């Protein structure tokens, strides 16, 4: 009933765009932060301002990546280099860490003001996995993962959480490396060949494929089914509820 191969005992879920409707909030926060930075930089250099593209730039450079990696990746696409700075750099620091801090402040403000909604189909699926005896773990690059799960009212549906804070503490490489997903499987006492990965980000499905998991399920919320397949998804659905209806 879950649309999974035999032998799968663990479900590893990404957060933003898979469980919660926060991917669009993150995309808006990245755009607000980068546009302010790019506008100031262009004005200071007497150059034309080229804004952050909330679909292409988000999907290609920041979606699913740890925050600092997202900053570096997008800046590199524009040929911009900044000092790394320190993890506690303030939001006005012209460093990779400073831009990351600025983005995090924006997204937390948006979440506080707008709240967080879970996808109904995903909640139904997770509950079905629980009732079927499968272990469930959230694997997210976000350091705000626990707060988002609590705000959405679904934190109690999961056995373990591997988030940005855990990844930092354990020195796990971010997606597209498989390290965080492998850590999720270990956290519930299983190995990759018994685990299913659920992802909406291109780097996330790459991570699932690199880790040799039993199945990588892509969730297409924005019309990129072909890209998800190309990056490593075994199957692609528009919503997890589709798997409950699969023969």
Catalytic residue positions, numbered: 14, 16
Q: Could you give the CA distance from residue 210 to residue 122 in angstroms, rounded to a whole number?
A: 24
Give residue for tokens 């034309």.
48
Among candidate residues 16, 14, 222, the one with its CA nearest the CA of residue 111: 16
- For helices 23-45 and 96-114, give the axis angle rounded to 10 degrees: 140
- Neighbouring residues of 227: CB distance < 8 A, sequence distance ≥ 6: 59, 202
Q: In the block, which residue shows the tokens 């000092």? A: 83
Q: What angle do CA 202, 141, 4 make, to 5 degrees?
A: 55
Q: How many CB atoms lie under 10 A from the CB of residue 92?
A: 9
Please report how the helices 67-77 and 96-114 are oriented relative to each other, as an axis angle in degrees rounded to 10. Answer: 120
Give the Cα separation of 186 and 225 in Å (integer).
29
Query: Cα–Cα distances in Å, from 59 out to 53, 77, 121, 234?
Result: 9, 13, 23, 19
Beta bridge mates, 219: 237
């Amino acid at each position: 009933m879950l649309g999974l191969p035999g032998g799968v005992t663990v479900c590893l879920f990404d957060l933003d765009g898979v469980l919660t409707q926060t991917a669009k909030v993150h995309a808006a926060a990245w755009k607000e932060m980068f546009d302010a930075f790019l506008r100031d930089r262009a004005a200071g250099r007497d150059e034309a301002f080229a804004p952050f593209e909330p679909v292409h730039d988000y999907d290609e450079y920041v979606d699913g990546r740890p925050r600092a990696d997202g900053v570096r990746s997008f800046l590199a696409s524009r040929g911009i280099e900044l000092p790394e700075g320190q993890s506690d750099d303030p939001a006005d620091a012209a460093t990779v860490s400073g831009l990351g801090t600025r983005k995090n402040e924006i997204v937390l403000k948006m979440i506080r003001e707008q709240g967080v909604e879970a996808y109904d189909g995903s909640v139904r699926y997770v509950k079905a996995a629980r009732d079927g005896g499968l272990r469930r773990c959230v694997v997210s690059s976000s350091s705000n993962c626990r707060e988002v799960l609590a705000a959405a009212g679904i934190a109690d549906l999961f056995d373990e959480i591997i988030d940005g804070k855990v990844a930092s503490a354990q020195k796990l490489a971010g997606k597209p490396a498989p390290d965080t997903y492998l850590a999720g499987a270990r956290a519930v006492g299983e190995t990759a060949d018994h685990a299913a990965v659920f992802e909406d980000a291109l780097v996330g499905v790459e991570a699932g494929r690199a880790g040799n998991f039993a199945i990588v399920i892509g969730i297409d919320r924005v019309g990129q089914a072909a890209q998800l397949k190309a990056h490593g998804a075994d199957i692609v659905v528009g919503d997890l509820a589709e798997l409950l209806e699969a023969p």
